[in-house]
Amino acid sequence: MKKILFTIAAALLLASCGEKQPSEKPIKKDETKKTVVVPRFDADSAYQCVAKQTSFGPRVPETQAHADCAEWLTAKLTEYADTVIVQDFRTRLFNGRGIDGQNLVGVFNPQAKKRIVLCAHWDSRPYADHDPDADNFHKPIDGANDGASGVGVLLECARQFKLQPLPEHLGIDIVLFDLEDYGPHQEEAEKYYDDRVNFWALGSQYWSKNPHVYGYKAYYGILLDMVGGPNPNFPKEYYSQGYAAWVSNKVWRKAFDLGYRQAFSNELGTVISDDHLPMNQIAGIPTIDIIDLQPNSINECFPDVWHTVNDNLEHIEKSTLGMVGDVLLHVVYEE
Protein backbone atom coordinates (compact mmCIF):
# COMPACT_ATOMS: atom_id res chain seq x y z
CA MET A 1 0.00 0.00 0.00
CA LYS A 2 1.71 3.32 -0.58
CA LYS A 3 4.82 3.67 -2.58
CA ILE A 4 7.74 5.69 -1.20
CA LEU A 5 8.99 8.08 -3.81
CA PHE A 6 12.03 9.30 -1.93
CA THR A 7 13.11 10.02 1.64
CA ILE A 8 13.50 13.42 3.25
CA ALA A 9 16.05 13.45 6.04
CA ALA A 10 15.58 16.99 7.30
CA ALA A 11 13.52 17.66 10.40
CA LEU A 12 10.76 20.27 10.29
CA LEU A 13 10.76 22.81 13.10
CA LEU A 14 7.33 23.74 14.42
CA ALA A 15 6.28 27.07 12.96
CA SER A 16 5.45 29.33 15.84
CA CYS A 17 3.20 32.33 15.73
CA GLY A 18 4.71 35.63 16.72
CA GLU A 19 3.88 36.82 20.22
CA LYS A 20 0.92 39.16 20.32
CA GLN A 21 1.45 42.61 21.72
CA PRO A 22 -0.64 43.37 24.81
CA SER A 23 -3.84 45.25 24.07
CA GLU A 24 -4.28 48.74 25.47
CA LYS A 25 -7.61 47.65 26.91
CA PRO A 26 -8.36 44.25 28.42
CA ILE A 27 -10.63 42.13 26.25
CA LYS A 28 -13.72 40.96 28.06
CA LYS A 29 -14.53 37.29 27.82
CA ASP A 30 -17.66 36.55 25.82
CA GLU A 31 -19.87 34.99 28.48
CA THR A 32 -22.47 34.04 25.86
CA LYS A 33 -20.10 31.77 23.93
CA LYS A 34 -21.21 28.18 24.17
CA THR A 35 -18.89 25.60 25.67
CA VAL A 36 -17.99 22.88 23.19
CA VAL A 37 -18.59 19.41 24.54
CA VAL A 38 -16.48 16.81 22.76
CA PRO A 39 -17.75 13.23 23.10
CA ARG A 40 -15.49 10.54 24.50
CA PHE A 41 -13.96 8.30 21.87
CA ASP A 42 -14.48 4.63 22.75
CA ALA A 43 -11.32 2.72 21.81
CA ASP A 44 -12.96 -0.62 22.64
CA SER A 45 -15.68 0.07 20.10
CA ALA A 46 -13.13 1.03 17.45
CA TYR A 47 -11.16 -2.13 18.17
CA GLN A 48 -14.26 -4.27 17.70
CA CYS A 49 -14.81 -2.62 14.32
CA VAL A 50 -11.26 -3.57 13.33
CA ALA A 51 -11.83 -7.13 14.56
CA LYS A 52 -15.06 -7.42 12.60
CA GLN A 53 -13.41 -6.37 9.36
CA THR A 54 -10.59 -8.90 9.73
CA SER A 55 -13.10 -11.63 10.61
CA PHE A 56 -14.26 -11.69 6.98
CA GLY A 57 -10.75 -12.62 5.85
CA PRO A 58 -8.52 -10.62 3.50
CA ARG A 59 -10.66 -7.91 1.87
CA VAL A 60 -9.23 -8.31 -1.62
CA PRO A 61 -11.51 -6.81 -4.28
CA GLU A 62 -13.67 -9.28 -6.19
CA THR A 63 -13.59 -11.89 -3.40
CA GLN A 64 -16.43 -13.03 -1.15
CA ALA A 65 -14.71 -11.58 1.92
CA HIS A 66 -14.57 -8.19 0.20
CA ALA A 67 -18.27 -8.36 -0.70
CA ASP A 68 -19.30 -9.44 2.80
CA CYS A 69 -17.28 -6.67 4.42
CA ALA A 70 -18.74 -4.08 2.04
CA GLU A 71 -22.24 -5.14 3.07
CA TRP A 72 -21.36 -4.84 6.76
CA LEU A 73 -19.65 -1.46 6.36
CA THR A 74 -22.62 -0.11 4.42
CA ALA A 75 -24.98 -1.28 7.15
CA LYS A 76 -22.87 0.38 9.88
CA LEU A 77 -22.71 3.67 8.00
CA THR A 78 -26.47 3.50 7.39
CA GLU A 79 -26.98 3.06 11.13
CA TYR A 80 -25.12 6.29 11.89
CA ALA A 81 -25.14 8.65 8.90
CA ASP A 82 -27.92 10.80 7.45
CA THR A 83 -27.20 9.49 3.96
CA VAL A 84 -25.10 6.63 2.63
CA ILE A 85 -23.84 6.44 -0.94
CA VAL A 86 -22.30 3.31 -2.44
CA GLN A 87 -20.11 4.38 -5.34
CA ASP A 88 -19.58 1.47 -7.71
CA PHE A 89 -16.80 1.96 -10.22
CA ARG A 90 -14.62 0.07 -12.65
CA THR A 91 -10.96 0.83 -13.22
CA ARG A 92 -7.74 -0.81 -14.41
CA LEU A 93 -4.94 -2.37 -12.41
CA PHE A 94 -1.24 -1.87 -13.06
CA ASN A 95 -1.27 -4.83 -15.51
CA GLY A 96 -4.20 -3.48 -17.52
CA ARG A 97 -6.80 -5.85 -16.12
CA GLY A 98 -10.18 -4.30 -15.45
CA ILE A 99 -11.51 -4.56 -11.90
CA ASP A 100 -14.61 -3.47 -9.98
CA GLY A 101 -14.47 -1.47 -6.75
CA GLN A 102 -16.77 0.24 -4.26
CA ASN A 103 -16.22 3.49 -2.41
CA LEU A 104 -18.54 3.87 0.59
CA VAL A 105 -19.64 7.34 1.71
CA GLY A 106 -21.44 8.34 4.91
CA VAL A 107 -22.86 11.88 4.90
CA PHE A 108 -23.57 13.83 8.10
CA ASN A 109 -25.43 17.16 8.11
CA PRO A 110 -25.90 17.18 4.32
CA GLN A 111 -27.36 20.70 4.42
CA ALA A 112 -24.18 22.24 5.87
CA LYS A 113 -22.03 24.19 3.42
CA LYS A 114 -18.81 23.87 5.39
CA ARG A 115 -17.63 20.27 4.99
CA ILE A 116 -14.75 18.13 6.18
CA VAL A 117 -13.76 14.80 4.62
CA LEU A 118 -12.57 12.00 6.91
CA CYS A 119 -11.30 9.00 5.00
CA ALA A 120 -9.46 5.66 5.02
CA HIS A 121 -9.16 2.68 2.70
CA TRP A 122 -11.03 -0.51 3.49
CA ASP A 123 -9.52 -3.01 1.06
CA SER A 124 -6.49 -5.13 1.95
CA ARG A 125 -3.33 -6.06 0.08
CA PRO A 126 -3.58 -9.17 -2.13
CA TYR A 127 0.13 -9.95 -1.65
CA ALA A 128 2.30 -10.27 1.47
CA ASP A 129 5.22 -9.20 -0.72
CA HIS A 130 7.28 -7.79 2.16
CA ASP A 131 6.94 -10.84 4.38
CA PRO A 132 10.21 -12.22 5.82
CA ASP A 133 9.17 -15.66 4.52
CA ALA A 134 9.26 -15.87 0.72
CA ASP A 135 6.64 -18.64 0.85
CA ASN A 136 4.12 -15.96 1.87
CA PHE A 137 4.91 -13.49 -0.92
CA HIS A 138 1.73 -14.24 -2.86
CA LYS A 139 -0.65 -14.70 0.07
CA PRO A 140 -3.26 -12.01 0.83
CA ILE A 141 -3.06 -10.18 4.15
CA ASP A 142 -5.63 -9.39 6.84
CA GLY A 143 -4.72 -5.71 6.75
CA ALA A 144 -5.69 -5.14 10.38
CA ASN A 145 -3.50 -2.05 10.61
CA ASP A 146 -3.12 -1.31 6.91
CA GLY A 147 -6.70 -0.36 6.21
CA ALA A 148 -8.96 -1.73 8.94
CA SER A 149 -7.53 0.44 11.72
CA GLY A 150 -8.41 3.71 9.99
CA VAL A 151 -11.88 2.43 9.13
CA GLY A 152 -12.39 1.31 12.73
CA VAL A 153 -11.56 4.77 14.04
CA LEU A 154 -13.90 6.42 11.54
CA LEU A 155 -16.80 4.09 12.35
CA GLU A 156 -16.50 4.95 16.02
CA CYS A 157 -16.38 8.65 15.10
CA ALA A 158 -19.55 8.07 13.05
CA ARG A 159 -21.22 6.48 16.06
CA GLN A 160 -20.35 9.53 18.15
CA PHE A 161 -21.69 11.89 15.45
CA LYS A 162 -24.99 10.03 15.76
CA LEU A 163 -25.04 10.13 19.57
CA GLN A 164 -23.99 13.78 19.82
CA PRO A 165 -25.05 15.68 16.69
CA LEU A 166 -22.49 17.89 15.01
CA PRO A 167 -22.81 21.68 15.04
CA GLU A 168 -25.39 22.73 12.45
CA HIS A 169 -22.84 24.72 10.44
CA LEU A 170 -20.56 21.73 9.92
CA GLY A 171 -20.98 18.71 7.65
CA ILE A 172 -18.82 15.59 7.69
CA ASP A 173 -18.34 13.13 4.85
CA ILE A 174 -16.73 9.82 5.80
CA VAL A 175 -15.31 8.23 2.66
CA LEU A 176 -14.02 4.65 2.70
CA PHE A 177 -11.89 4.12 -0.38
CA ASP A 178 -11.55 0.81 -2.20
CA LEU A 179 -8.62 -0.46 -4.30
CA GLU A 180 -5.95 1.52 -2.52
CA ASP A 181 -3.69 -1.48 -2.01
CA TYR A 182 -3.72 -3.29 -5.35
CA GLY A 183 -0.45 -1.90 -6.72
CA PRO A 184 2.10 -4.16 -8.44
CA HIS A 185 3.78 -6.96 -6.53
CA GLN A 186 7.20 -6.03 -5.20
CA GLU A 187 8.77 -8.52 -7.61
CA GLU A 188 7.21 -6.64 -10.53
CA ALA A 189 7.43 -3.09 -9.20
CA GLU A 190 10.28 -2.07 -11.51
CA LYS A 191 8.56 -3.57 -14.54
CA TYR A 192 5.42 -1.49 -14.00
CA TYR A 193 7.05 1.68 -12.67
CA ASP A 194 5.85 4.80 -14.45
CA ASP A 195 6.21 8.20 -12.79
CA ARG A 196 3.28 9.47 -14.87
CA VAL A 197 0.84 6.91 -13.46
CA ASN A 198 -0.21 6.11 -9.89
CA PHE A 199 -1.12 2.42 -9.76
CA TRP A 200 -2.15 2.75 -6.12
CA ALA A 201 -5.07 4.62 -4.53
CA LEU A 202 -7.42 3.72 -7.40
CA GLY A 203 -10.61 4.32 -5.40
CA SER A 204 -9.38 7.72 -4.28
CA GLN A 205 -8.44 8.63 -7.83
CA TYR A 206 -11.93 7.71 -9.03
CA TRP A 207 -13.69 9.61 -6.21
CA SER A 208 -11.50 12.67 -6.74
CA LYS A 209 -12.61 12.78 -10.38
CA ASN A 210 -16.20 11.74 -9.62
CA PRO A 211 -17.16 12.86 -6.10
CA HIS A 212 -20.36 11.56 -4.55
CA VAL A 213 -21.97 15.00 -5.01
CA TYR A 214 -21.56 16.93 -8.25
CA GLY A 215 -19.32 19.96 -7.74
CA TYR A 216 -18.39 18.77 -4.25
CA LYS A 217 -16.00 20.91 -2.27
CA ALA A 218 -14.65 20.52 1.24
CA TYR A 219 -12.80 22.83 3.61
CA TYR A 220 -10.18 20.15 4.18
CA GLY A 221 -9.66 16.40 4.49
CA ILE A 222 -7.96 14.01 6.91
CA LEU A 223 -6.83 10.56 5.79
CA LEU A 224 -6.10 7.79 8.32
CA ASP A 225 -3.74 4.97 7.40
CA MET A 226 -2.07 2.47 9.73
CA VAL A 227 -3.29 4.11 12.92
CA GLY A 228 -3.56 1.04 15.16
CA GLY A 229 -0.05 -0.28 15.71
CA PRO A 230 2.06 -0.27 18.89
CA ASN A 231 4.38 2.66 19.64
CA PRO A 232 3.19 4.76 16.70
CA ASN A 233 5.14 7.58 15.13
CA PHE A 234 3.01 10.09 13.23
CA PRO A 235 5.26 12.69 11.60
CA LYS A 236 3.95 15.42 9.32
CA GLU A 237 3.97 13.51 6.04
CA TYR A 238 5.78 15.37 3.29
CA TYR A 239 2.93 15.82 0.80
CA SER A 240 0.60 16.78 3.65
CA GLN A 241 2.88 19.64 4.55
CA GLY A 242 3.33 20.62 0.92
CA TYR A 243 -0.37 20.77 0.08
CA ALA A 244 -2.06 21.41 3.43
CA ALA A 245 0.42 22.53 6.07
CA TRP A 246 -2.23 24.60 7.84
CA VAL A 247 -4.35 21.46 8.28
CA SER A 248 -1.57 19.29 9.66
CA ASN A 249 -0.43 22.11 11.94
CA LYS A 250 -3.99 22.44 13.26
CA VAL A 251 -4.25 18.68 13.93
CA TRP A 252 -0.80 18.38 15.48
CA ARG A 253 -1.40 21.37 17.77
CA LYS A 254 -4.55 19.66 19.03
CA ALA A 255 -2.63 16.41 19.54
CA PHE A 256 -0.04 18.31 21.57
CA ASP A 257 -2.77 19.96 23.64
CA LEU A 258 -4.25 16.55 24.40
CA GLY A 259 -0.91 15.17 25.58
CA TYR A 260 0.01 13.06 22.52
CA ARG A 261 3.22 14.86 21.60
CA GLN A 262 5.29 11.67 21.86
CA ALA A 263 3.30 9.97 19.08
CA PHE A 264 2.58 13.02 16.92
CA SER A 265 6.20 13.94 16.26
CA ASN A 266 7.00 17.40 15.03
CA GLU A 267 9.15 16.18 12.16
CA LEU A 268 8.83 16.16 8.41
CA GLY A 269 8.02 12.64 7.26
CA THR A 270 8.83 10.67 4.13
CA VAL A 271 7.04 11.35 0.86
CA ILE A 272 4.13 8.88 0.67
CA SER A 273 1.88 8.25 -2.31
CA ASP A 274 -1.44 7.54 -0.60
CA ASP A 275 -5.15 8.31 -0.97
CA HIS A 276 -4.59 11.94 -0.01
CA LEU A 277 -2.51 12.62 -3.12
CA PRO A 278 -5.41 12.49 -5.65
CA MET A 279 -7.57 14.43 -3.19
CA ASN A 280 -5.04 17.25 -3.25
CA GLN A 281 -4.01 17.09 -6.90
CA ILE A 282 -7.30 16.19 -8.59
CA ALA A 283 -10.12 17.22 -6.25
CA GLY A 284 -8.28 20.28 -4.96
CA ILE A 285 -9.14 19.48 -1.34
CA PRO A 286 -6.28 20.26 1.08
CA THR A 287 -5.85 16.85 2.71
CA ILE A 288 -3.35 15.39 5.15
CA ASP A 289 -2.32 11.82 5.90
CA ILE A 290 -2.04 10.64 9.50
CA ILE A 291 0.17 7.59 8.95
CA ASP A 292 2.52 5.58 11.14
CA LEU A 293 6.06 5.88 9.79
CA GLN A 294 8.88 4.00 11.53
CA PRO A 295 12.37 5.15 10.44
CA ASN A 296 14.05 2.08 11.98
CA SER A 297 11.66 -0.46 10.49
CA ILE A 298 12.84 -3.47 8.49
CA ASN A 299 10.10 -2.60 5.95
CA GLU A 300 11.33 0.63 4.41
CA CYS A 301 9.77 3.25 6.72
CA PHE A 302 6.55 1.40 7.51
CA PRO A 303 5.75 -0.76 10.56
CA ASP A 304 7.45 -4.17 10.56
CA VAL A 305 4.19 -6.01 9.84
CA TRP A 306 3.43 -3.88 6.76
CA HIS A 307 2.48 -6.04 3.76
CA THR A 308 3.16 -9.24 5.69
CA VAL A 309 0.87 -12.00 6.94
CA ASN A 310 1.53 -10.63 10.44
CA ASP A 311 -0.58 -7.54 9.83
CA ASN A 312 -3.33 -9.07 11.94
CA LEU A 313 -5.40 -8.29 15.01
CA GLU A 314 -2.61 -9.38 17.37
CA HIS A 315 -0.69 -6.23 16.44
CA ILE A 316 -3.49 -3.74 17.03
CA GLU A 317 -3.35 -1.53 20.13
CA LYS A 318 -6.52 -0.01 21.54
CA SER A 319 -4.51 2.87 22.98
CA THR A 320 -3.32 3.91 19.51
CA LEU A 321 -6.84 3.78 18.07
CA GLY A 322 -8.07 5.80 21.05
CA MET A 323 -5.40 8.45 20.67
CA VAL A 324 -6.11 9.08 16.99
CA GLY A 325 -9.87 9.03 17.53
CA ASP A 326 -9.62 11.47 20.42
CA VAL A 327 -7.68 13.93 18.27
CA LEU A 328 -10.17 13.63 15.41
CA LEU A 329 -13.22 14.23 17.57
CA HIS A 330 -11.65 17.32 19.14
CA VAL A 331 -10.63 18.74 15.76
CA VAL A 332 -14.13 18.20 14.36
CA TYR A 333 -16.28 19.38 17.26
CA GLU A 334 -14.06 22.42 17.92
CA GLU A 335 -14.13 23.50 14.25
- For residue 7, what pLDDT is reported? 38
Rounded CA separation 19/193 (Å): 48
Rounded CA separation 174/286 (Å): 16
The fourth-level CATH superfamily of domain 37-333 is Zn peptidases (3.40.630.10)
222 within 8 A of 310, measured Cβ to Cβ: no
- For residue 72, what pLDDT is reported? 98
Cα–chain center distance at 29: 37
Segments in the chain below pLDDT 50: 5-32
- Residues of the chain by 3-state class (helix, strand, coil), percent to 5: 35, 15, 50
Q: What would the pLDDT profile of 135-160 be if each residue is shown by its tens digit?
A: 999 999 999 999 999 999 999 999 99
- For residue 2, what pLDDT is reported? 61
Neighbours of 9 (CB within 10 A): 7
Neighbours of 231 (CB within 10 A): 12
118 within 8 A of 175, measured Cβ to Cβ: yes
Q: What would the pLDDT profile of 279-304 be if each residue is shown by its tens digit?
A: 999 999 999 999 999 998 998 899 99
- For residue 13, what pLDDT is reported? 34
pTM for the whole structure? 0.91
